[in-house]
Structure 1
Amino acid sequence: MAAAGQQVTLETIDKDQMKTFSDFLMSYNKLSEMCFSDCVRDFTSRTVKNNEEKCALNCMEKYLKMNQRISQRFQEFQMIVNENAMAMAQKTGKL
């Protein structure tokens, strides 16, 4: 019986890991496509021009900083929502 429970747990972990990896790949692909379309203009050479490289690095840095800031704000918002819910539950006596 324990083996069946352990199997379900492993399947759940595998699904969670696949979802996390899938989310990462989607974000990476979005970043790559966005920065490529914004920065790469010259297709007459096999080499990447200095201005294209700088543009791509700046684009990536901005995107990652923006993503990090949004995540932080979302976490702060979630903490406030949770605190308000706890306060409301205590006030109504449901806790």
Structure 2
Amino acid sequence: MAFMQQQQQQQQMQIKEFRDFLSSYNRLTESCFTDCIKDFTGRKLSDKESKCASNCMEKYLKMTMRVSQRFQEYQVQQNEGLMAAKQAAMGGH
């Protein structure tokens, strides 16, 4: 029974991660579209619109990677602090 519950929890976590990804993708798409696409008279993007959309996406991806890296660094610092606190509580052993 525990195995089935674990599988269900894992499946729910995967669904949540996918929803979060889709939500992020939709925000990116809406933001870049709103910022870059101004001319609705033609069927194709202008070179300016296309370049703007590419730059927008590139900036978003770089920002996401930077935030993720900073979060990982913060987590490492927190873990090191916890380890130091545990060692101090145990008398330095």
Report if TM-score (shorter chain) is over 0.5. Answer: yes
Alignment match of 2:80 (pick from 80, 83, 93): 83
Alpha-carbon RMSD:
1.4
Q: Distance in 2 between matches of 1:39 and 1:76?
A: 34
The answer to whether 1:37 aligns with 2:34 is: yes
Q: CA deviation at 1:5?
A: 1.8
Find the counterpart in structure 1 of residue 65 from structure 2.
68
Structure 2 residue ranges without an equivalent (≥5)? none
Moved more, 4-13 or 73-82: 4-13
Post-superposition Cα deviations, 1:27-80, rounded to whole Å, max 9, x if no partner, equal 100100110000000011111111101100000000000100110011001100
Find the counterpart in structure 1 of residue 9 from structure 2.
12
> Under a length normalisation based on structure 1, what TM-score does the superposition of the two structures give?
0.91
Q: Distance in 1 between matches of 2:3 and 2:72?
A: 32
Consecutive aligned runs of 4 or more in structure 1 exceeding 3 Å deviation: none
The answer to whether 1:48 aligns with 2:45 is: yes
Aligned length: 92
- Identity, % of aligned positions: 49
- 1:18-33 aligned at under 5 Å gives the runs 18-33=15-30
Q: CA deviation at 1:22?
A: 0.6
Q: Distance in 1 between matches of 2:61 and 2:83?
A: 33
